[in-house]
């Protein structure tokens, strides 16, 4: 097992003008870690992964596998296994021939090759499928063939670029658990790319949230969810509300803010938040950390329901409140019977779960 280091890595494409597709990225992925690059389309995830694979060279910066500098090494000298969204399998070849492809290129002997193909197919729970044709398999099975093909060369790192995007919702969930099992059993350092925050949270040891080529935050799913570094991360992960609230007083680790309607609450803040009395704090509060109450209740924030959507697990509401014209999103497990759009409602914020974010 090896760790993978990206050191001040940038990539500019000649025809894309001055803007960097990947801008000064620093990441250290631990040996055996399942690490995810997460962000909206166009934020630089694929470009970053392709630099690790060697399909692109960085404009500046260094990439290391363990202590070895691979920055300028061609892909076939890096021992990386790649899995893509569109599987990239050869449809006219059998499952076994597809999996054996990388071994053939590496001139592995026939008997050894057969043994390793069987082993890789067993690893992805496709033992006995070797003679099947690719077009006889479901999408999920095809993606597992692609995974076997990547693993059979015994790569030093496994790189996966949106591998589940072509699968329907139920199969995505099954296959993501399957990928995690295989990765854990193989103990292989892995970098996974997705734009889907739920997928990233469910699968990853750690996540780098990216936007416009830059890393916005690196942390465990829990850290990113509970302590988002800035407004972008807060809104991208779990669609948090970010309220602008006047600061009454502050300590090194907390900020007292005034709520619309006059109430005061104390919320946790990151180190060196720099907020002082009369500044405006940006405070993140998750939809599930806002409770509903009667609009007449003492200390409640009051507002008007503008949207109401039943999702099964909860009811999502948008409530327009003073100072937040776009409203706040609330995910309520229980709603008062007969509540409908246009009604006045009271909100209670769970101050213990709120967190000051940077702009
Ligand atoms: N080969 C290329 N030539 C020019 N621009 C590119 C190339 N590949 C990607 N880009 C640009 O770099 C940015 C990041 O793209 P990409 O890494 O594919 O994003 P993501 O995978 O996060 O959707 C985008 O603005 C994209 O248009
Ligand atoms: Mg991409």
Domain boundary residue, one of 178, 208, 231:
231
Residues 34 and 145 reside in one and the same domain: yes
Residues 98 and 216 reside in one and the same domain: yes
- Give percent above pLDDT 90 in the chain: 86
Ligand 1 touching residue 20 (CB < 6 A): no
- pLDDT attached to residue 218: 98
Mutation pick for ligand 1 pocket among 23, 36, 44, 59 (CB with most ligand atoms within 8 Å): 44
Residues 178 and 308 reside in one and the same domain: no
Residues 276 and 128 reside in one and the same domain: no
Confidence label for 325 from pLDDT (cuts 50, 70 and 90): confident
Confidence label for 182 from pLDDT (cuts 50, 70 and 90): very high
What is the pLDDT averaged over residues 330-345? Answer: 95
Residues 208 and 162 reside in one and the same domain: yes
What is the pLDDT averaged over residues 135-141? Answer: 91
- pLDDT attached to residue 6: 98
Confidence label for 16 from pLDDT (cuts 50, 70 and 90): low
Residues 13 and 131 reside in one and the same domain: yes
Residues 68 and 123 reside in one and the same domain: yes
Cβ proximity of 95 and 132 under 8 Å: yes
Domain with 348 in it: what CATH number? 2.40.50.140
Q: State the Cα–Cα distance between residues 299 and 143, nearest whole angstrom.
A: 54
Domain boundary residue, one of 231, 263, 298:
231
Q: Print burial letters for 137-150: b (CB count within 10 Å at least 16), e (below 16).
A: beebbbbbbbbbbb
Domain boundary residue, one of 180, 204, 231:
231
Count CB atoms within 10 A of the CB of residue 251. 10
Q: Nearest ligand, CA of residue 47?
A: 1
**DSSP count for the chain of H helices, then E strands:** 8, 20
Cβ proximity of 116 and 103 under 8 Å: yes
What is the pLDDT averaged over residues 57-69? Answer: 97
- pLDDT attached to residue 239: 84
Structure tokens at 106: 């590496």
Residue 247 has pLDDT above 90, yes or no: yes
Residue 40 has pLDDT above 90, yes or no: yes
**Residue 307 or 260, more confident:** 307
Q: State the Cα–Cα distance between residues 35 and 4, nearest whole angstrom.
A: 10
For ligand 1, atom 9: residue with the closest CA: 47
**Count of domains forming the chain:** 2
Residues of the domain holding 62 = 4-231
Give the distance, in angstroms, between the CA of residue 330 and the centroid of all CA atoms in the same chain.
Answer: 23
Confidence label for 88 from pLDDT (cuts 50, 70 and 90): confident
What does pLDDT average to over the chain? 94
Residues 192 and 206 reside in one and the same domain: yes
What is the pLDDT averaged over residues 14-33? Answer: 91
Closest ligand 1 atom to the C-alpha of 48? 17
Residues 20 and 148 reside in one and the same domain: yes
- pLDDT attached to residue 207: 98
Residues 259 and 206 reside in one and the same domain: no
The residues that bridge with 34 in the sheet, in sequence order, are 190
Residues 178 and 254 reside in one and the same domain: no
Cβ proximity of 44 and 80 under 8 Å: no
What is the pLDDT averaged over residues 83-108? Answer: 92
- pLDDT attached to residue 15: 75
Domain with 95 in it: what CATH number? 3.40.50.300
Structure tokens at 80: 């990386």
User: How does DSSP assign 203-240, residue by residue?
Assistant: H-SEEEEEETTEEEEEE-HHHHHHS-SBHHHHHHTTT-
Q: What is the pLDDT of residues 266-280, one digit of tens each?
A: 999 999 999 999 899
Ligand 1 touching residue 22 (CB < 6 A): no
Residues 219 and 244 reside in one and the same domain: no
């Amino acid at each position: 097992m090896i760790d993978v280091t990206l050191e001040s890595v940038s990539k500019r494409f000649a025809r894309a003008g001055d803007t960097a597709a990947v801008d000064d990225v620093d990441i250290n992925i631990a040996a055996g870690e399942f690490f995810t690059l997460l962000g909206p389309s166009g934020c630089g995830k694929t470009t970053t992964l392709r630099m690790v694979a060697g399909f692109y060279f960085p404009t500046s910066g260094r990439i290391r596998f363990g202590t070895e500098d691979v920055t300028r090494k061609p892909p076939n000298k890096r021992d990386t296994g790649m899995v893509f969204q569109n599987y990239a399998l050869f449809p006219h070849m059998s499952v076994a021939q597809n999996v054996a492809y990388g071994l053939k290129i590496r001139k592995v002997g026939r008997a050894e090759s057969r043994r390793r193909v069987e082993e890789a197919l067993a690893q992805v729970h496709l033992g006995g499928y070797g003679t099947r044709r690719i077009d006889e398999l479901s999408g999920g099975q095809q993606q597992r063939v692609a995974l076997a093909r990547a693993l059979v060369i015994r790569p030093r790192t496994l790189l996966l670029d949106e591998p589940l995007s072509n699968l329907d919702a139920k199969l995505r969930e099954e296959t993501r658990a399957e990928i995690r099992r295989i990765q854990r059993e193989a103990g292989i350092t892995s970098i996974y790319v997705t734009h889907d925050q739920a997928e990233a949270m469910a699968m990853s040891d750690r996540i780098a949230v990216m936007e416009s080529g830059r890393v916005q935050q690196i942390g465990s799913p829990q850290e990113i969810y509970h302590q988002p570094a800035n407004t972008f991360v807060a809104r991208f992960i779990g669609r948090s509300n970010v309220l602008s609230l006047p600061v009454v007083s502050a300590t090194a680790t907390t900020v007292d803010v005034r709520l619309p309607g006059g109430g005061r609450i104390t919320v946790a803040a990151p180190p060196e938040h720099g907020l002082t009395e009369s500044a405006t704090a940006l405070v993140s509060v998750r939809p599930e950390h806002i409770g509903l109450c009667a609009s007449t209740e003492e200390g409640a924030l009051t507002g008007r329901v503008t949207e109401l959507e039943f999702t099964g697990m909860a009811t999502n509401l948008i409530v327009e409140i003073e100072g937040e014209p776009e409203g706040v999103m609330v995910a309520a497990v229980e709603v008062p019977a007969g509540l409908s759009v246009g009604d006045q409602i009271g909100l209670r914020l769970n101050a213990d779960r709120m967190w000051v974010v940077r702009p």
